[in-house]
Chains A and B, each alone.
Chain A
Amino acid sequence: MAREGLIFYGSIAIFPLIVLLNLALPDAANRPDQPKEVFNGALLLFFTLLLIYVTYGYHFKKQPHVRVKTVVNVSLIFGVFLLLWLVLVGKLGYLRPHSFPSPNNVFQVFITDIDFLTYESSKASIIRAFTGYILALVLGIPLGVWGGSNLRAFSVSYPIAKVTAHIPPVVYLPYAIAVFPSINGAIVFMIFIGAFWPIVINTMFGVYNIDKRLIEFARILGADEKRILFKVVLPAAMPSILAGSLIGLVLSFVLLTAGEMVGAHTGLGFYLMYYFDVGYFDKVVAAILLISFWVFFWITFGFDIVQSKLLRWQRRIG
């Protein structure tokens, strides 16, 4: 146990190590001198959070080993990547400085562009993504439930949905831009279409495949149709509904950035494309990092939490 713990803490110690290295070594001669505070701060923050998580998981939860191990291993891979990036690119000056900015260079952008990138662009993008996604949930789940519980509706709509759903949603964008009064509307529409199909299909499939005996069981116990819908059909189909909702959420971000890169005047995708066009690659990389952060954030702290609440009744494996 003690040795295992030592390995855990040792492997996350890579983050303070990178910070020390960054402070000790000067940046390469071909790099413009950059403040180191932001990159170091981000690493230390991440290190602290990881330490809390590992300590909490390792000592207080019942069976944390697998999960803690996974988190530590994944963090280790990130740590090694950051270390290589910092040392090879930032300190030793390999690769062209123009297209391959150093970590200090990139992280500095979050502060210098705090209004435009970190706040305004994130806000515009997140509002767009969630408008489309929530519309898809609100329309997709009820439609899916209807389609799945009605045999005739199912036999007609499932084959149609299977074909239509596999049309790449980006193909709607040019036409949507032409038809919609605003580019915003066109992007939201595309996100909606993209997220709608996986949600509808998975909901439909989940509802259709419910063990019919559960419904009969409820009927014998005296439940009416409304109670059967909310207490039997929806919970029974919930794993499937959530699977579709996750695909929808991920697709929303894919389509969001694609749409913004093509036509928007705000948002992370626009920011990324704009600075690509004028050749500021530190800002491009910063935008990529920020987009990944938001995707990770909404899946881990939004979706996963909702999912584990809704599926508490399932036996957890591992």
Chain B
Amino acid sequence: MRAMKAVEVTGVKKLGNGKVVLENVDMEVNEGEFVSIVGPQACGKSTLLRLIAGLDQPDAGKIKILEEEVSKPHPKVGMIFQETLLFPWLKIIDNVTFGPISRGVEKVEAEREATKWLESFGLAKFADKWPYELSGGMQRRATIAMMMVNQPKVLLCDELLGGLDLITRNAIADEFLKLWHEKKPTVLYVTHLLEEAVYLSQRVYVMSAKPSKIYETFEIDLPEKRWEVPNLRFSEKCADYVNKVREAFVEAMKVA
């Protein structure tokens, strides 16, 4: 059976303020894959994600989601922004039901579904709280619930775990991996932490700045249920991958 292409980016170019932000980017992600994008600052990672989300239009090239060309946000795509995780004026439960109700699901049904998701993240008792009352880690979990309740086929994460302490970060990373394993959405994960990129994904794209394009691609061959392997993060195999990615990353920065 031929795997369906979840995301196809071909020859994409994007200008911003008269400068080239992205040039000739090609990327293919199969359905159910978990891929990471790393790269130096201002290399256009976020821009690429915004294009895939359908929030901006490329100046040249094509972007297809589930083999349909995107011109506006695709209903099967979810996106998590680092800066805006939740709507601060909605209680946690209303944040999670925001998507389903927007898509015409009955309120009662949406709340039942949302409660299930909150329970699976251990957030059930926070349903009636305001976002500011939750810790950073809890907020991330709520955001993931908010996206997952919409049953996305493609999930775009821009620095999902940015600004968290390492222990919370690793804990949520494992929860997120389990979730991905269970539901198999296609995940595009932008991060600046190479260790995290290697640990989470099946493939890592290294981008270079100026010209902003895919510099190198690494296939990561680690067991799929990574959280079951004790100390996999610190294993030699993992470290090897991180080193290789780091070398490419440094090269990519020299190009700039």
A residues in contact (CB < 8 Å) with B: 211, 213-214, 216-224, 227, 231-232, 235-236, 238, 312-315
Contact = CB atoms under 8 A, between A and B. Distances in A.
A213 B90 contact: no
A217 B102 contact: no
A49 to B, nearest CB: 31
Interface stretch (B5-13, B76-84, B118-126, B212-220): B76-84
Interface string B168-203: 000000000000000000000000000000000000
Contact of B102 (A227, A238, A313, A315): A227
Q: Interface of chain B, helix or strand or loop or mixed? A: loop
Nearest to B73: A220
B21 interface: no
Contact of B88 (A213, A224, A314): A314
Interface residues on B, range: 20 to 34
Contact of B132 (A211, A218, A313): A313
A218 B89 contact: no
Contacts of A236: 89
Given A238-B89, A314-B132, A214 B98 contact: no
Contacts of A222: 73, 75, 99, 102-103, 150
Interface string B97-117: 011001100000000000000
A220 B98 contact: no
B100 to A, nearest CB: 8
B81 to A, nearest CB: 5
Interface in B184-243: none
Interface string B143-177: 00010001000000000000000000000000000
B150 A315 contact: no
Nearest to A217: B84
Interface in B52-111: 53, 55, 73, 75, 77-79, 81, 83-84, 87-90, 98-99, 102-103
Contacts of A314: 88, 132
26 contacts: A213-B83, A213-B84, A214-B87, A216-B53, A217-B81, A218-B98, A218-B102, A220-B53, A220-B73, A220-B77, A220-B78, A221-B98, A221-B150, A222-B73, A222-B150, A223-B98, A224-B102, A231-B98, A232-B87, A235-B89, A236-B89, A238-B89, A313-B89, A313-B90, A313-B130, A313-B131
A314 B89 CA distance: 7
B203 to A, nearest CB: 24
